[in-house]
Each structure stands twice: as C-alpha cells, then as structure tokens.
A and B are shown apart, each in its own frame.
Chain A
C-alpha cells in the first residue's frame, strides 16, 4: 500500500513536470524553450531604447528619416535605426572605418532574423565532404569552402561578425533540418529545381555556382563518351538529383547501366576508386574536388559531356520573406561588389566616395539594409570580412587551389558568364 502511494505521487510529479514542459514547447515549435524565454527580455530591451534613438537622429538628419518614412511608412524602426552614425556621418566613417558601430537598434524583421539575433549565431546546413565547397580542413579542423564562405557572409550581414555554426548534413538530411528549423539557411551545393522550390517548401537565393553533372571514368578503360558505359556499373550518391539525371539521360539514350547507390559521398568515391564501378557521377565541381582524393588522380578523366544543369544556390524555408531577402541580397552584394571592382582589400578606399551607386551598396547613403532590418552597412561588412564573389571563388576554387576550376559560366556577365546582380538602389 505504501509503495502504491509512493508510486502514485511519483507519477503525479513526473506528469506535472512533463505537462509543464509540453506547455512551454507548445508556444514555440521552432525555438528551444531556453531561447523562447530569453526572447521577451531582448525585445523589451530594444523597445526601451527605441524612443530615445528615434529623436536624436531625426533632428540631425531630417532628409534620411523622411526618406525612410516615405519608403516604409509602417516602420518606425527603420527610422529608429537610421541613427547609426555610419549612415549619417560619412566623414567620421572615412576617418576611422574600423570603428563603424555595428550595433543598431533592431526591431521587426521576420521570425528567422529574430531567432538568429537572439541566438547570436547563424546556423547553416553544410557539407563536410566536398573539398572546395564544404569540407573540414584536416590541418585546422575548421569548415572551409565556397559554400561555407557564403554562410559566413550571411552571418556577417546579419550579426556584423562571422558568428556561424555549420551543421554537417547528408544529402538527404539537408531538407528536413531546414524545414524543421534546426538550421536557418542551407548552403550545401544544392541544386535549384522546381520541385524543391515548390513541393519541398524551399526558397532559393541567387545561384552562387552554375554547375552540371559529369561522369568520371578510368583513363585505361578507353571510354570516351557516355555510350561507352553501356552495360556498366555506375557509382552514385543517394538523395541527390544526380541519381535521377543519370536515369533520365541514360534512358533517353538507351544506355543500359546498373547504379550502385551509397549514402555517403566518401563511400561512393571509395567504391569507384576500388573498382566496384566503371563510372562515377556527380556534379562536375564535385568530380574535380573528389578527383584529388582518389588514390591516383591522374588515372581518371572526366568526360566532356554534361548531363544536366545544376545551378547551386543557398536555400531558406518558405514563408519568411524578410529572411529570404536577406540571404538573396547578401549573395547579390558579393556579385555586385566584384562588378564594381570592390574587394575586401580596397573597400575602405571607396568609403566617402562620390559614386552614388557605390555609396548605396556600402550603405553610406540610403537605407537599403534597413528595409530588411539589417544594418545599413551590411554589404560593406560582407565585402570587408568575406570578400566579393571573385575573391570567394578564387580563395576556394581558383588557380591557387588544387582544383584550378575555370570560372566558365560563373564569370560575371560582363566577362561572358552568368553572374549578374540586380542594382543596389
């Protein structure tokens, strides 16, 4: 009897505890409980600062405020944020660019932006197995690569500093972790397709890398085109568009093949390297970076044929337009900067210049960043801390890297490529 009473009480307590937790979680499915509780405090703090901030700059810079109000009537916060000296006092900024205050008063913005600000860290879904794009540098144990740099750029645009975490994901995990809110943005050599854009519930930022699916074979096999692979075995990674493209292209050409599907990029490459397969297919950029990991990289060639269009782009969840804008314009910022010849090294020399286009881009005039609830100088910070598109490309894939991947389609449109940014104005 005593025992039953005790057990009954224990269950009661446990139940109460569970209900309490459950109730807490119910209010916010995305953010963990701890963050949900800190959120109100942070919001309060910002609201408290707001009135004071609105007054001073409004008096000092009537034009800027007027502009802001005109463009975004509902957003008092836009006006509030204009107090930032960088935007209002160019001379001071030129004198000491490093002292640019990055702490603006943030109000509004979408739920993702708010969550990132409260957390103080951006969470990206990335790859760890594609050298050049996303991999862990064995010397430093840090994530490095083209995609990782874009994650960094978004973090800089939002937080003013490269505060980001990379969540390594497999090809299949990447959508669920984004959909469930575990990460804020997916920058993991992901191909932009209509089904992903619509039925998977993603929004794709501009293409950061134009790629196409290729095929690698052994040089001594004598295979020179896809038809030569008739009856062959082909290693392919699961959960990628690659699998479908392979089936589509080979079916259309009447080529018989057997796929061997692995979950992991390393396992796929290893199986090919050891002779389990006659061909190894993935995006050409991936083939180039996998090739240097093969036992004898020189014994393999990549066939000329391109089996698909693979525009690789960062992706965000549908339904948060503000966050989508932020990711989109962060990418455009790097492209536009390259077009204007602004790099991380010379960006400071452009500050306080005469060119209104550049002044807009760097946030010296206008409120381009503020309309997205970012700092006015978000693009300046991205260029300063991460670099322009060309710098990011060359750092990870350019001539000084083992890949030495030609720019090709990824050149600026002015150089015959496809990279083109809408204007910053």
Chain B
C-alpha cells in the first residue's frame, strides 16, 4: 500500500489532463448534455417560431384572449363529424375530446382483442412448429415465413380489398347453417344479448351459483387429496353452477312477467299477446298464421301485402323492449314492423300522432304515458333476450355488427403479430433443456401435461421479455387502421387535426395516448415477468 501510493501520484502528475480518464469522462458528459440541450432548444425554437407564424388563433381562449395555457381549449368545441363505431355513446354534436376518447377506446379494443388472439395463435403456431408431425410443422413454418416477410400494410389491403370483397353483397348475405348469423361485404352480423330488467334477479342466482361451484371445487379437492382418487372436479363444479343458474332463470322470468308490454288501441281487440297472431291473420285474410309461408310460396300473398297488413310498433331505438317483443313474435311466426325513435317521449308522440298502431315500452313508461282508450298488453320477459339482426332498408338493424373494417385490422394484426410470437414461443420452448422433457416422460406425464406443467412454465421466463415488445408493436401498428377505414385513435385524430388546424396539439395528444398505452402494457408484463422469474439468492 505504502509502496503504491507515491507511484500513482507520480503517474497522475505525469498524465496531462486531456489524457486523464476522469477529466475526459466529465468532459464527455458535459458535451453530451450540451448536445441534448442544444437539440431540444433548436426543436423548441423551431416549434415556437412556427406557432408564432400561425398566429394566436392556435391558442384562442374562450374569453377571446390568446395564451399558451389555452392550447388545448379547442378540445371543448363540437367535433361535428360522425364516427362509424364507438364503445361509448357518441354524436357529431359531442366535443373533440369525446371524439378522441372514442378513437382511443377503439384502439384499446383492437389492442386488447389483438393481444389475446395473437398470443393464442402465436403459442399454438410456436408449438406446432416443433411438432413431430411433418404436415403441421411445415404449415406453421410457411405461415410464419410468409407473414413475417411481407409488410403489414400490404397484408391489410389484401385482407380488406382482396378477401372481404369476396363475401356476397348485403342482400345475399351468407347464413351458415340457418343460424341468425349473416356474412356479407358489410361485415358479420350476430345476435346480441340484451339485458332485461329482471336480469338483476338472475344475476343474484348466478353469483350464488359461482359460490356453490367454488365450494364444490374446494371440498372435492380436499377429498381428492385425502383419498388419492382423481375426481372430475370441473364437471361437478359446472353442474352445481348450472342447476342454480337454470333455476334462477325461471324465478327471475316469473318475477319480471309484468315488466314489459305494449299499448294498443281498444278498438284493435287485442288484450293478450296471442290475440296479435289472430288479428294479423285476419288482416292478411288467412285462417291461421301457419298458412303464411305457404301463401307466400304459392303467390297468394306478396311480400308487399304482408307488409301492408302487419301491425307497426313504435319503440325506442335499441331498447330492450323491442328485443323482448320481437323474440316473442318471431317464435309465434307473426310478421312485424318497427318505427324507431330516439327517445321514449318521441315514441309516445309517434303513437299519439298515429305513426303506428302500437307502442312498445316497459310497463312503467306505458302507465306514465296514460293514453286514453288504450289497452296495455303484457309481454312475457326473460332475463336475457337476443336481439337478432335483420335487414331493414339499406342495412341490418338489431344484433351486433362486426364491421369489415374492424375485422380487417384485427385479423391483420393478429396474423402478423402471431407469426412473431410463434417464433418467440418456439425459441422459449427450445431453451428448456431436453432433460426436463425426458424427465417428464419418465414420470409418466402425458404430452399435454408435459407441455403445460413442465415446459411452458420454464419457457415463459424466456418468452415474456420479447413478448412485451410484440404487444407494444401490435398496439402501435393498430394506427394503420385508417387504411382500411376503422376509426381508431389516429383516424379520429387525423380528422380532428384537419378540422381544427391544431397540428402540434393533436400530435402531442396522440403521442401521449400511445405512450400511455405502451406504458400500461409494459407495466403489466414487467410485473408478470417479476412474478414468474426464478427466485435467486
């Protein structure tokens, strides 16, 4: 120690400062800082000069003054453009802020569904690539190679303009197996479950059913441990749940029997729902409605005549009352027509004005309306009704619609990201030493058990970190949605930018939103990664 000390001092004295590592280190850092500051200052001054050139109108406050504080005040203005699909109610008279929220939610919808589906597809493909079955592994390899090596935008255009167009036009929509599912150029229309007022009662039973299933699961598990005999726990738990749920359904339906109804003029002679069938039959000149299909087929009645003869109902757009009534009428084979209004008051007004012969609404609304010379006909209710899609005018009404634009962006992103995830999964599985698999086989585990209990848990540690960046990629790539007409965040922001002229503000908002999405995803995956990481001492 004493030997070394003078030696180092001498060397330090000899070393000129420009060769001293410490001085150079500080200098390098100072220079780097200066560069960063200079770059930031340059970008900042450029932006502010551009802003000044554009004038104070960019920062208009509501009181007419201009200030940088008010840069985002324009978000409160009316958006004045329509958006084709939205998770929250939206109208062109809503604000830009709400329009952007609609876009952000649509992006989130694509991202969440895309991540789930891409993970499933990627995992399956990754495992398939390692399959000993030649056909499966070759198909998986071709899929991965083809998708990974072509641009996403090209794939999206191909999907949208090359595949979805092959579906028939809306009038000739495909209906697989006669189910109420319609495939057309305009997308996929599916039945939509509608929650009726008595759903609340049923929900209590459902919760109770889940509780019972949990108890059964727990008790049977203990028995399994005690006796050492395998019991089909999922089956018993499901059975317990099903019994409670089915029982609850009938109880709830009975309780809600008087919740729904329709109002019809006394002169129509309808007092119970079944009268509707007879009345309609008489109007169409038939003895029984069962003859209707035959009459239509033989040409005795035309579609137009049936349309003339059907009872027209007034109702609120997308209301549960309509789904409840149409489910009943469809079952009874009664033809019907609807006149839809934006709210209950408009619907009542429509009925009073004679736009239609009956008014369908919850019983409470009908009672409150108190229209003279009318009868309230009760319509039986079940906790859930399915609103079925049917063509009215130019498009489908009722049900739920998976738009072709959404389908294109979702399928495109899932296929694309799935290919990358497949490779990550394959790499993860191959990183697990062979000895682990051999040991699992030696223990007599089945192939599925080997994969689920031995290989995948160890592979996950390798898979999760690169998977995070694939999830981030998927989320950010969703901004290509505008190419296929899906209103995601970027698409809405694009219109907002053009209408408001606030380029800088809109870009900042969009960047901040994507950043937030990315941070949320990486937060969850980092948390999960820490949880499954090997505990090291």
Q: Which residues of B contact A409 (CB under 8 A)?
A: none
Give chain A residues whose Cβ lies under 8 Å from the Cβ of B303.
Answer: none
Q: How far is the CB of A27 from chain B (nearest CB, A)?
A: 11
Let me know if B523 is at the binding interface, CB within 8 A: no
Name the A residues within 8 Å of B25 (CB-CB).
Answer: 4, 8
Within 8 A of A (CB), among B164-183: 165, 169-170
Interface membership of A224, Cβ < 8 A: no
Does A400 interact with chain B (Cβ within 8 Å)? Answer: no
Complex Cα–Cα for A230 and B393 (A): 8
Q: Max chain B CB contacts within 10 Å: which of A233, A248, A318?
A: A233
Contacts of B83 in A (CB 8 A): 259
Known contacts A11-B28, A179-B50, A274-B161; decide if A261 and B80 are in contact (CB<8 Å): no
| Nearest CB of chain B from residue A275's CB, rounded to whole Å | 5
Q: How far is the CA of A5 from the CA of B392 in the complex (A)?
A: 77
Q: Looking at the complex, which one of B395, B482, B494, B503 makes contact with A258 (CB distance below 8 Å)?
A: B395
CB < 8 Å: which of A12, A19, A29 contacts B50?
A29
- Which residue of B31, B55, B81 is within 8 Å of A247 (Cβ)? B81
Q: Which residues of A contact B80 (CB under 8 A)?
A: 244, 247-248
- Complex Cα gap A216–B392 (Å): 21
The answer, among B27, B394, B497, for a CB contact under 8 Å with A12, is B27
| A274 adjacent to B185 (CB under 8 Å) | yes
Contact partners of A179 in chain B: CB under 8 A? 50, 53-54, 503
* Residue pair B49, A29 in contact (C-beta under 8 Å): yes
- Pair B55/A318 contact, Cβ less than 8 Å: yes
Residue of A nearest to B49 (CB): A29
A47 interface residue per 8 A CB criterion: no
B-side contacts of A313, CB under 8 Å: none
Is B38 interfacial (CB-CB < 8 Å)? yes
**Interface 1/0 per residue, B16-57 and A, CB below 8 Å:** 000101001101100110110011001001100110011101
Question: Which A residues are CB-close (under 8 A) to B50?
Answer: 29, 179-180
Whether a CB of chain B sits under 8 angstroms from the CB of A404 is no
Asked whether, in the complex, the Cβ of B39 is within 8 Å of the Cβ of A267, the reply is no
Complex partner residue of A19 from B21, B35, B165, B392, CB under 8 angstroms = B35
Option from A231, A238, A259, A263 in Cβ contact (under 8 Å) with B393: A231
Given A25-B42, A26-B45, A200 and B501 touching (CB < 8 A)? yes
> Does any Cβ of A come within 8 Å of B465's Cβ?
no
* Residues of B within 8 A of A (CB-CB), count: 60
Asked if A171 is at the interface (CB within 8 A of a chain B CB), the reply is yes
Among B38, B42, B499, B501, the residue within 8 A (CB) of A201 is B501
The answer, among A14, A180, A262, for a CB contact under 8 Å with B483, is A262
Kindly list chain A residues whose C-beta atoms are within 8 Å of the C-beta of B393. Answer: 230-232
A233 lies within 8 A of B21 (CB):
no
Residue B61 lies at the interface, judged by CB distance under 8 Å to chain A:
no
A177 to chain B, nearest CB (A): 11
Determine if A258 and B485 form an interchain contact, defined as CB atoms under 8 angstroms apart: no
| A260 within 8 A of partner (CB) | yes
Residues 236 to 268 of chain A near chain B (Cβ within 8 Å): 238-240, 243-244, 246-248, 250-251, 257-264, 267
Interface: B525 (CB within 8 A)? no
Task: Determine the distance from Cα of A319 to Cα of B93 in the docked complex, in whole angstroms.
Answer: 33
Chain B residues lying within 8 Å of A229, measured Cβ to Cβ, are 394
Contact pattern, B 130-162, Cβ under 8 Å of A = 1, otherwise 0: 000000000000000000000000000000010
Q: Chain B's nearest CB lies how many Å from the CB of A258?
A: 5
Within 8 A of B (CB), among A4-38: 4-5, 7-9, 11-12, 14-15, 18-19, 22, 25-26, 29
* Residues of B contacting A5 in the complex (Cβ-Cβ under 8 angstroms): 19, 21, 24
Selected from A199, A232, A235, A262, the residue in CB contact (under 8 A) with B60 is A199
Query: Is B482 touching A262 in the complex (CB atoms < 8 A)?
Result: yes
Query: Of B169, B397, B482, which contacts A238 at CB under 8 A?
Result: B482
Closest Cβ of chain B: how far from A233's Cβ, in Å?
6
A275 CA to B167 CA, complexed, in Å: 10
Q: With A and B bound together, what is the CA distance between A276 and B83 in angstroms?
A: 16
Neighbouring B residues of A172 by C-beta, 8 Å: 494, 497-498
Q: For chain B residues 68-96, which have a beta carbon within 8 Å of chain A?
A: 80-85, 92-93
Are B21 and A1 within 8 A (Cβ)?
yes
Residues B494 and A263 in contact, CB atoms below 8 Å apart? yes
Which residue of A201, A231, A278 is within 8 Å of B54 (Cβ)? A201
Give min CB distance, A263 to chain B, whole Å.
5
Do A171 and B498 touch (CB < 8 A)? yes
Cβ-based interface call for A195 (8 A): yes
Q: Given A231-B393, A231-B395, A274-B161, does the pair A267, B84 have CB atoms closer than 8 Å?
A: no
Cβ A175 vs Cβ B503 within 8 A: yes
Proximity string of chain A (116-128) to chain B, C-beta cutoff 8 Å, 1 when within and 0 when not: 0000000000000
Q: Which residues of B contact A251 (CB under 8 A)?
A: 92-93
- Which chain A residues numbered 343 to 383 have a C-beta less than 8 Å away from chain B? none
Point out the residues of chain B lying under 8 angstroms from A246, CB to CB: 81-82
**A103 contacts B by Cβ under 8 Å:** no
CA distance A221 to B498 in the complex (A): 33
Q: Report B158 CB to chain A, min CB distance, Å.
A: 13
Whether the Cβ atoms of B34 and A19 lie closer than 8 Å is yes
How many Å from the CB of B185 to the closest CB on chain A?
A: 5
Closest to A264 in B: B483
**Is B38 within 8 A of A19, CB to CB?**
yes
For the complex formed, measure the closest distance between the CB of B99 and the CB atoms of chain A, giving whole angstroms. 11
Given A22-B42, A199-B58, A260-B485 in contact, is the A175-B498 Cβ separation under 8 Å? yes
Q: For the A-B complex with A246-B81, A262-B485 known, give 15 more contacts whose Cβ atoms are closer than 8 Å.
A: A22-B42, A195-B500, A199-B500, A199-B501, A201-B58, A231-B392, A232-B394, A235-B485, A243-B82, A248-B80, A258-B85, A261-B491, A267-B483, A276-B404, A318-B55
Which A-B residue pairs are the 4 nearest by beta carbons?
Answer: A200-B501, A201-B54, A239-B498, A232-B394
Q: What is B's interface to A at a CB cutoff of 8 Å?
A: 19, 21, 24-25, 27-28, 31-32, 34-35, 38-39, 42, 45-46, 49-50, 53-55, 57-58, 60, 80-85, 92-93, 161, 165, 169-170, 185-186, 392-395, 397, 403-405, 482-485, 487, 491, 494-495, 497-503
What are 27 A-B residue pairs whose CB atoms fall within 8 Å in the complex?
Answer: A4-B21, A8-B25, A9-B24, A11-B28, A11-B31, A11-B32, A15-B35, A26-B45, A176-B503, A196-B501, A199-B502, A231-B393, A232-B393, A239-B498, A243-B499, A244-B499, A258-B82, A258-B395, A259-B81, A259-B82, A259-B83, A260-B403, A261-B482, A263-B483, A263-B494, A274-B165, A275-B185
